[in-house]
């Protein structure tokens, strides 16, 4: 994987993911390893992000690398009309690796084609966010001690949530059964359902969150955004039906954990935070270890 860009979840094989997850576990046990003290990591955030940027920069710092970059494109020459291509060619002559988020779909793939150093996609519009998917896999493995044969419930905005699409695609490698809970308007796109069918796996669709709680191993919650609805009345009807509360957790499986890519708004009630099922903050922490593993592996230090 040395020198290999990570743009899309399909760029790495199942074995390569598993290797990254194993390396990440090593960083969780021992986070401060100055393996990249002679490296410069460029962190190019053409649109704002809290968790992803901070966790990448934390990962780079814990590895001893220096970080250059920007956290929104307002203060850069992009504002003067510079093309992405020119920005990337320039930065790739300064840094050893580029981590980038961009509002346009395909921006990271394009950057990887013009860059002389590897590129890690930290989100390209509505398209891909592969490092989120890897930290989701890491967290599932950590909580269930296996990735195989799990009942995964995906809840909320299954239509537009890119983390949902990537995670479904990735879990198709591990014989998962998918329980898809969403309002009618926000069902999983047929192209993603095709991945499940192609892998000969099963999925069920639900509109009630309570229906999946008794048998789920993982409940993956997502935020439902008002602007996704063509009819505001539809939003008002469903906005409270996908809220997970502590009371609903009674009767869940003992191994069940709740994940969320964050930020959450009201879809997980705060009284859930102190339950033993709540795992979303630990999931966000895991992002640092997985990103350490990726930076170290791609730069050839692991």
CB 23 within 8 A of CB 286: no
State how far the Cα of 15 lies from the Cα of 148, in Å rounded to an integer. 14
> Segment 216-275, which members bind other proteins (CB under 8 A)?
none
Among 84, 119, 181, 298, binds other proteins (CB under 8 A): 84
Judged by CB under 8 A, the stretch of 121-129, 177-185, 200-208, 251-259 that binds other proteins is 121-129
Q: Which stretch binds other proteins (CB under 8 A): 79-87, 91-99, 133-141, 283-291?
A: 79-87
Residue from 71, 73, 128, 131 that binds other proteins (CB under 8 A)? 128
Quick check: 188 binds other proteins (CB under 8 A)?
no
Q: Which is nearer to other proteins, 54 or 114 (CB)?
A: 114
* Alpha-carbon distance values, 283 to 54, 63, 166, 212, 289 (Å): 14, 20, 16, 21, 10
What value, to the nearest 5°, has the Cα angle with vertex 133 and ends 11 and 21?
80
Whichever of 105 and 204 has its CB closer to other proteins, that residue is: 105
3-state DSSP assignment of residue 215: coil
Interface with other proteins (CB under 8 A), residue from 22, 105, 204, 271: 105
Catalytic residues: 51-52, 80, 101, 129
Q: Any contact of residue 100 with other proteins (CB under 8 A)? A: no
239: number of Cβ within 10 Å: 16
Rounded to whole angstroms, what are the CA distances from 211 to 67, 167, 183, 258, 271?
46, 21, 14, 15, 20
Q: Is 85 in the site for other proteins (CB under 8 A)?
A: yes
Smaller CB distance to other proteins: residue 191 or 233? 191
Dist. CA 68–CA 175, nearest whole Å: 41
Under the binding rule (CB under 8 A), the answer on residue 121 touching other proteins is: no
Taking alpha carbons only, the member of 204, 143, 137 closest to residue 174 is: 137
**298 lies in the binding site for other proteins (CB under 8 A):** no
Residues that bind other proteins (CB under 8 A): 8, 83-85, 102-107, 109-110, 124-128, 191
């Amino acid at each position: 994987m040395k020198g290999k860009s990570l743009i899309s979840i399909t760029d790495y094989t199942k074995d390569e993911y598993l290797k990254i997850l194993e390396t990440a576990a090593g960083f969780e046990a021992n986070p401060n390893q100055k393996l990249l003290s002679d490296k410069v990591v460029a962190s190019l955030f053409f649109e704002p992000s809290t968790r992803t940027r901070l966790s990448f920069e934390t990962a780079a710092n814990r590895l001893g690398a220096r970080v250059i970059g920007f956290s929104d494109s307002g203060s850069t020459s992009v504002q003067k009309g510079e093309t992405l291509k020119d920005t990337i060619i320039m930065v790739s002559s300064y840094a050893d690796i580029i981590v980038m988020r961009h509002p346009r779909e395909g921006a990271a793939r394009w950057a990887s084609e013009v860059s002389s150093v590897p590129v890690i996609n930290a989100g390209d519009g509505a398209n891909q966010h592969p490092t989120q998917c890897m930290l989701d896999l890491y967290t599932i493995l950590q909580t269930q001690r296996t990735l195989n044969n799990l009942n995964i419930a995906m809840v909320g905005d299954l239509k537009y949530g890119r983390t949902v699409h990537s995670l479904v695609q990735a879990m198709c490698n591990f014989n998962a059964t998918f329980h898809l809970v969403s309002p009618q308007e926000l069902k999983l796109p047929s192209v993603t359902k095709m991945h499940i069918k192609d892998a000969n796996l099963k999925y069920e669709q639900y509109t009630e969150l309570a229906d999946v709680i008794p048998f789920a191993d993982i409940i993956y919650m997502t935020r439902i955004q008002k602007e996704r609805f063509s009819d505001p009345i539809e939003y008002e009807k469903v906005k409270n039906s996908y809220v997970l509360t502590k009371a609903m957790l009674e009767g869940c499986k003992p191994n069940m954990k709740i994940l969320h890519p964050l930020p959450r708004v009201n879809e997980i009630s705060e009284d859930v935070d102190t339950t033993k099922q709540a795992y979303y903050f630990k999931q966000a922490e895991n992002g640092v270890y997985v990103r350490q593993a990726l930076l170290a592996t791609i730069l050839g230090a692991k």
